[in-house]
Amino acid sequence: MKKIKEFFNKIFSCIGNFFRLVGDKIKEGWQKLCETKAAQKVFYVLGYIPNKISSKMKNSTRKAVWGFIFVIPLIIGFVYFFLIPFIYTVIYSLSWVENTGNIIVLGFDNYIYAFKQITFTYNWESYLFTEWIVFVMMQMITDIPIILIFSMIMAVILNSEFKGRAAARAIFFIPVIFNSQAIDTAVSAYSALANTTSGATDDLFSQMFNFKDFLTEAKLPPFLVTFLGDASTKIYDIISYSGIQILIFLSAIQSVPRHLYEAAKMEGATQYEMFWKITFPMVTPMLLAAAVYTVVDSFLRSPMLSMLEKYSGPGKRDNLDEALGIGHLAEDGIMKLTDYGINSAIAIIFTACIGLLMVVVLGILSKVVFYYDE
226 vs 230: CA distance, rounded Å: 6
For residue 266, being part of any structural domain is answered with yes
- 13 plus 161 within the same structural domain: no
CA dihedral angle for residue 221, residue 226, residue 230, residue 233, rounded to 10 degrees:
80
Query: How large is the angle between the packed helices 243-254 and 165-178, nearest 10 degrees?
Result: 140
- 166 plus 274 within the same structural domain: yes
- 47 plus 124 within the same structural domain: no
Is residue 140's pLDDT more than 70?
A: yes
- 36 plus 122 within the same structural domain: no
For residue 140, being part of any structural domain is answered with yes
For residue 215, being part of any structural domain is answered with no
Q: What is the mean pLDDT of residues 308-313?
A: 78
Is residue 315's pLDDT more than 60?
A: yes
For residue 196, being part of any structural domain is answered with no
Domain count, the chain: 2
- 6 plus 145 within the same structural domain: no
Is residue 18's pLDDT more than 60?
A: yes
3-state secondary structure of 61: helix
- 41 plus 153 within the same structural domain: no
Mean pLDDT of the chain: 76
Which residues lie below 8 Å from residue 241, measured CB to CB, with a gap of 6+? 143, 147, 175, 179, 294, 297, 298, 301
For residue 294, being part of any structural domain is answered with yes
Residue 39 lies in domain: 1-56
- 315 plus 256 within the same structural domain: yes
Task: Write the CATH number for 285.
Answer: 1.10.3720.10
pTM assigned to the model: 0.67
**Amino acid identity at 168:** A
- 43 plus 138 within the same structural domain: no
Reported as a single tens digit per residue, the pLDDT across 322-336 is: 545 555 566 665 677
Residue 118 in contact with residue 307, Cβ under 8 Å?
yes
More confident residue, 9 or 144: 144
- 45 plus 132 within the same structural domain: no
* Distance, first Cα to last Cα, the chain: 60
- 49 plus 105 within the same structural domain: no
23 vs 29: CA distance, rounded Å: 10
For residue 236, being part of any structural domain is answered with no
Q: What is the pLDDT of residue 173?
A: 67
Q: What is the pLDDT of residue 276?
A: 83
Reported as a single tens digit per residue, the pLDDT across 233-247 is: 667 777 777 778 888
Reported as a single tens digit per residue, the pLDDT across 169-221 is: 677 666 665 554 444 544 444 444 455 545 544 544 455 556 566 556 666 66
Please choose, from the candidates 343, 333, 276, the residue with its C-alpha nearest in 3D space to the C-alpha of residue 305. 343
3-state secondary structure of 179: coil
248 vs 238: CA distance, rounded Å: 16
Which band of pLDDT confidence, cut at 50, 70 and 90, is reported for residue 84? very high
For residue 76, being part of any structural domain is answered with no
Q: DSSP character for 278? A: I
For residue 114, being part of any structural domain is answered with yes
The most confident of the ranges 113-122, 129-138, 345-354 is: 345-354
Q: What is the mean pLDDT of residues 141-162?
A: 83
More confident residue, 53 or 161: 161
